[in-house]
A and B are shown apart, each in its own frame.
Chain A
């Protein structure tokens, strides 16, 4: 079994998540080669073949051009699997490669199974087993599902170049919003999710945060709905936190949220849905109506 791993590079840096691809390949027991649109001045710690295109020439995000480069590497390497991270780069590029090669794609793999792959579905509540119908397949792996592994060594570089074919013009990056609240330093975080029902209920969650001497956090839907400011958002596109205590109030536990808080020392979740995926990471799942339980707990703490 041979894998071509598609590494990631952004704002002039090799992304650490690239090493999760080696964790996946290790579990598969597969040979590895790495593809990267990056820089010769930042070679990954890997002793195998590196198909390298220059990000200054090819752009960090130029999917039509990157597709051509991946296809070139596939032709040279002849892999059984082309493996991406399920990220803003991977989920964008992987289907283009699969379409060009006319092969199966399996998205957001969380485990390798006999003859196939396990993927999440229904917002992380359920699982499916999927088998590719083509011999060769494109895979994207879920962030954090496979532990990062640094193989070590210095790669043998095979340089790739391609003529620009894309019609896309990259205008630049916009930095993340200023953080008014640095949740990464908080010892206690009490977060509000959609299950709190409405904006008017946010102070009830904030009151529990205050009673526990902590900060208010939030899941993505309540930030999108403008119930809570963006600098309180916990998750992949917000802040990654690891407090001593994390209390999730009415948060079902989308993977993007779990990835941002599952390293907390102790997690209490309050949710009326016993099957909510937050239960997978919680030390304690309180099955209750958030708006009944939280005020009662706050009142008890004040006594």
Chain B
């Protein structure tokens, strides 16, 4: 069985964001990058399936972006992926979700993957489009927002998370693509021996020009802070003073201290 997991490298979301020179995405300067959190669940589930199937399976991890994304790829290899594909693209942030999906589809098209895992969305863009678009472009079945996954005899049983804590359970035959929600599993931390082992694993680099065939269907025209709603009070300073201020506010504005 051939398994593919698609990952994205995103900035630490605790960071302060500033627009780039073009004003359409964030400036990379001073940002720390890591694997998209949703994709960590996708990698973990793919590795568990790889372990379930043993040597009859091969698990490939793919990421698109500049050279720094190799760090995220290496983490996925250390978690247990067998081999990696780095689609080299220094302008990935200017591509829309349709183009991103088309690049992966161009790579995966003739590879015959039986199962493809992606995160449900990225933490930075959050369009939730790439996984489903990729399935459509490859013409394979797809289920989104998984909080449960089982594989047996060429079919998966997937638990989809719906609103209000309800879950929908579906069964699909491979080939299939699934998008993974937070909480699907507990992603492992790579161990030192596995990090060392990962250094010997193959990373194939492919220039994006070889795979990009589609035009963008949307254009970003601005990246900006939300308009301040202005009603909230911001308190800063010494903890002792902050406590006294908050006690005063609780007495004045709420009935909870009476």
Which residues in A have some Cβ–Cβ distance to B below 8 Å?
10-11, 61, 63-64, 86-88, 91-92, 94-96, 98-100, 103-108, 116, 120-123, 125-134, 166-177, 187-188, 212-214, 220-221, 223-224, 230, 236-238, 244-245, 252, 265-266, 268, 273-275, 277, 279-289, 292-293, 296-297, 300-301
Tell me the nearest residue of chain A to B169, going by C-beta: A171
Chain A interface SS verdict (over half): mixed
Complex contact A280–B229 (CB within 8 A) = yes
Complex contact B13–A123 (CB within 8 A) = yes
For this complex, 15 residue pairs linking A to B, each with C-beta atoms less than 8 Å apart, are: A61-B170, A95-B128, A95-B129, A96-B132, A122-B13, A122-B26, A127-B226, A168-B172, A173-B166, A252-B13, A266-B253, A284-B232, A285-B235, A296-B240, A296-B242
Cβ-based interface call for B34 (8 A)? no
Q: A283-B232, A286-B246 are in contact. Are A91 and B144 (CB under 8 A)?
A: yes
Complex contact A285–B233 (CB within 8 A) = yes
* Chain A residues near B231 (CB-CB < 8 A): 283
Within the complex, which residue of A133, A238, A268 is in contact with B216, where a contact is CB–CB below 8 Å?
A: A133
The stretch of B61-69, B108-116, B155-163, B191-199 in contact with A is: B155-163
Q: A88-B162, A286-B246 are in contact. Are A127 and B224 (CB under 8 A)?
A: yes
Cβ-based interface call for B30 (8 A)? no
Q: How far is the CB of B18 from chain A (nearest CB, A)?
A: 10
Cβ-based interface call for B236 (8 A)? yes
Cβ-based interface call for B207 (8 A)? no
Distance in angstroms between the alpha carbons of A277 and B167 in the assembled complex: 28
Q: Which 7 A-B pairs have the closest CB atoms?
A: A176-B165, A99-B136, A95-B132, A224-B183, A104-B217, A129-B222, A107-B127
* Chain B residues near A300 (CB-CB < 8 A): 243-244, 247
Q: How far is the CB of B7 from chain A (nearest CB, A)?
A: 18
B contacts with A, residue count (CB < 8 A): 78
Cβ-based interface call for B234 (8 A)? yes
* Chain B residues near A169 (CB-CB < 8 A): 170-172
Complex contact B164–A176 (CB within 8 A) = yes
Which residues in B have some Cβ–Cβ distance to A below 8 Å?
11, 13-14, 16-17, 24, 26, 96-98, 121, 123-129, 132-133, 136-137, 141-145, 157, 159-173, 182-183, 215-226, 229, 231-236, 239-240, 242-244, 246-247, 249-250, 253-257
Within the complex, which residue of A103, A121, A122, A297 is in contact with B246, where a contact is CB–CB below 8 Å?
A: A297
Complex contact B256–A245 (CB within 8 A) = yes
Complex contact A133–B161 (CB within 8 A) = no
Q: How far is the CB of B188 from chain A (nearest CB, A)?
A: 14
Within the complex, which residue of B163, B164, B183, B250 is in contact with A245, where a contact is CB–CB below 8 Å?
A: B250
Within the complex, which residue of A99, A130, A297 is in contact with B218, where a contact is CB–CB below 8 Å?
A: A130
Complex contact A99–B17 (CB within 8 A) = no
Tell me the nearest residue of chain B to A126, going by C-beta: B17
Tell me the nearest residue of chain A to B238, going by C-beta: A288
Distance in angstroms between the alpha carbons of A273 and B12 in the assembled complex: 13
Q: How far is the CB of A12 from chain B (nearest CB, A)?
A: 13
Complex contact B126–A121 (CB within 8 A) = yes
Q: A91-B144, A273-B14, A296-B240 are in contact. Are A286 and B254 (CB under 8 A)?
A: no
Distance in angstroms between the alpha carbons of A25 and B38 in the assembled complex: 32
Q: How far is the CB of A17 from chain B (nearest CB, A)?
A: 8
* Chain A residues near B220 (CB-CB < 8 A): 128-131
Tell me the nearest residue of chain B to A303, going by C-beta: B247
* Chain A residues near B221 (CB-CB < 8 A): 116, 129-131
Contacts A95-B133, A131-B220, A171-B171 supplied; 13 other A-B pairs, CB < 8 Å:
A87-B163, A96-B142, A98-B217, A104-B96, A116-B221, A126-B26, A126-B223, A167-B173, A168-B172, A176-B164, A224-B182, A283-B233, A286-B242
Distance in angstroms between the alpha carbons of A116 and B14 in the assembled complex: 28
* Chain B residues near A105 (CB-CB < 8 A): 97-98, 127, 129, 217-218
Q: How far is the CB of A222 from chain B (nearest CB, A)?
A: 11
Q: How far is the CB of B237 from chain A (nearest CB, A)?
A: 8
Complex contact A280–B226 (CB within 8 A) = yes
* Chain A residues near B128 (CB-CB < 8 A): 86, 91, 95, 107-108
Complex contact A171–B157 (CB within 8 A) = yes
Within the complex, which residue of B125, B145, B161, B162 is in contact with A121, where a contact is CB–CB below 8 Å?
A: B125
Complex contact A88–B133 (CB within 8 A) = no
* Chain A residues near B11 (CB-CB < 8 A): 122
